[in-house]
């Protein structure tokens, strides 16, 4: 009897440990999925070209200050195109704010269009009162933005370095990676002959 009880307790403990291991494995697979899924900011093949001078346009921000886009300056620019009605844009705002804090050499400009009340609510919710926030269609039309959330990276001399549809923090980071490597987009990287058939990357397609 004693031996049976001891064996039973031992079995229960081992079963709990096993269930823990299974749960842990499933969690790890989940993390892997989350990491694999984003392949990089998707660049739609239209609009302004990467590694060319960015189109120059000037617009007033919410406080009436003029903001120059695409002009040479002492700071690079990150343009983040968003809309208050787009939930993905909202989920990316903390990441954009983190970039603004981390990169003092970069001027982060939020560009949006539409209902002023919704803009004000969004600005209050995410504490963007002090950020450069442009409301108006000019910039989006100049850069031919068709999908949101979209980000454009312009360097100090006014050259457009990277752009793309950004749906996650990883997509956003891929823009900086693209700027650093001088490659327009992940699609370019994969389709360029040096890389696609080299042993640097192997992607099953």
Residue numbers of the site for another protein (CB under 8 A)? 5, 8-9, 12-13, 15-16, 19-20, 22-23, 25-27, 29-30, 33-34, 36-37
Shortest Cβ 15–another protein spacing (Å): 5
Q: Considering beta carbons, is residue 90 or 103 the nearer one to another protein? A: 90
Shortest Cβ 126–another protein spacing (Å): 14
Shortest Cβ 98–another protein spacing (Å): 18
Q: Considering beta carbons, is residue 3 or 5 the nearer one to another protein? A: 5
The neighbour count for residue 30, using CB atoms within 10 Å, is 10
Whose tokens are 């900086």? That residue is: 176
Q: Considering beta carbons, is residue 85 or 156 the nearer one to another protein? A: 85
Shortest Cβ 186–another protein spacing (Å): 16
Q: Considering beta carbons, is residue 38 or 140 the nearer one to another protein? A: 38
Q: Considering beta carbons, is residue 28 or 144 the nearer one to another protein? A: 28
Shortest Cβ 29–another protein spacing (Å): 5
């Amino acid at each position: 009897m004693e031996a049976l009880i001891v064996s039973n307790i031992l079995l229960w403990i081992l079963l709990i440990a096993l269930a823990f291991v299974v749960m842990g494995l499933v969690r790890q697979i989940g993390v892997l999925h989350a990491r694999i899924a984003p392949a990089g900011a998707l660049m739609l093949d239209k609009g302004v070209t990467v590694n060319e001078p960015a189109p120059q346009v000037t617009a007033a921000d919410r406080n009436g200050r003029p903001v120059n886009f695409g002009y040479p300056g002492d700071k690079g620019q990150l343009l983040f195109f968003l809309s208050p009605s787009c939930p993905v844009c909202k989920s990316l705002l903390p990441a954009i704010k983190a970039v603004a804090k981390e990169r003092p050499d970069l001027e982060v400009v939020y560009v949006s269009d539409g209902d002023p009340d919704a803009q004000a609510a969004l600005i209050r919710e995410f504490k963007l009162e002090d950020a450069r926030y442009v409301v108006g269609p000019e910039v989006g039309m100049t850069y031919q933005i068709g999908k949101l959330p979209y980000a454009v990276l312009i360097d100090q001399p006014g050259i457009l370095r990277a752009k793309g549809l950004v749906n996650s923090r990883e997509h956003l980071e891929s823009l900086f990676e693209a700027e650093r490597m001088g490659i327009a987009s992940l699609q370019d990287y994969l389709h360029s002959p040096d890389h696609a058939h080299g042993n640097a990357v192997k992607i099953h397609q």
